[in-house]
């Protein structure tokens, strides 16, 4: 493989340079601060009966896993702790998210549930496009934790289902698969099809696929 030539100026600015492709990633000072000094990180077991709910998403086998705990007081998130098996971007994003929902005495639950991954990225001064999917881990962990909280207090009508739905019946491809493709950088139907072959054998599913691509692109990239 031919190695890409990187200018001296780019090397000075780059935090990470891939020695094979020459691709550079530049992390903001805020990202680095939250990576090296993560807020609300909990490595030990939480105090018994202190938190009101917890949730875990991901799997170590897949490379990303997160556990989150919340303390709720009169509808506000007064404490949120987390731990993760994930990359630096996931750590920085979760650290910032935990700070956002607990600052100024705690955020109302409904307002916290409105926080989007791009809101977190804005506070971080951005992330490399290849790392945007890492910022979603905190969002998914928080929603799962809050679903558990709603079940614990008997407010089942507030639980949001996280199940996947088959979009392409020929290949058994779900809306979650399309979401992951968008998070990995696919921006239109052709790019998604390169990853998944979705819709090739089931052309009737294409309008829904395109709608999902637009939805997830707006959701994660604004």
Catalytic residue list? 62, 134
SS3 78: strand
Among 200, 160, 192, which residue's Cα sits nearest to residue 175? Answer: 192
| Of 102, 113, 129, residue with least CA distance to 23 | 129
CB atoms within 10 A of CB 8: 6
Burial of residue 201, with CB atoms counted within 10 A of its CB: 0-12 exposed, 13-18 middle, 19 or more buried: exposed
Q: Cα–chain-centroid distance for residue 57?
A: 11
Q: Where are the alpha helices (DSSP H) in the chain?
A: 8-13, 29-36, 88-102, 109-112, 117-123, 136-152, 175-183, 189-196, 206-221
Any residues with CB less than 8 A from the CB of 38 and at least 6 apart, and which? 91, 92, 94, 95
């Amino acid at each position: 493989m031919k190695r890409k030539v990187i200018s001296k100026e780019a090397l000075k600015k780059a935090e990470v340079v891939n020695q094979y492709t020459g691709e550079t990633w530049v992390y903001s000072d805020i990202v680095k601060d939250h990576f090296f000094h993560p807020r609300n990180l909990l490595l030990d077991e939480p105090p018994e009966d202190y938190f009101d709910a917890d949730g875990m998403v991901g799997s170590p086998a897949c490379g990303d896993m997160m556990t989150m705990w919340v303390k709720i007081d009169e509808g506000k998130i007064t404490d949120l702790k987390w731990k993760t098996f994930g990359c630096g971007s996931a750590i920085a994003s979760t650290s910032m998210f935990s700070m956002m929902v607990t600052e100024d005495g705690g955020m109302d639950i409904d307002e916290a549930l409105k926080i989007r991954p791009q809101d977190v990225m804005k506070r971080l001064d951005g992330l490399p496009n290849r790392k945007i999917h890492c910022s979603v881990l905190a969002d998914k962990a928080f929603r799962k934790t809050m679903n558990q909280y709603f079940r614990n207090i008997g407010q089942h009508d507030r639980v949001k289902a996280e199940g996947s739905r088959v979009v392409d019946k020929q290949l058994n491809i779900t809306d979650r698969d399309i979401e992951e493709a968008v998070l990995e950088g696919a921006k239109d139907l052709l790019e998604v099809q390169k990853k998944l072959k979705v819709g090739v054998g089931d052309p009737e599913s294409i309008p829904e696929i395109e709608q999902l691509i637009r939805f997830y692109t707006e959701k994660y990239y604004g």
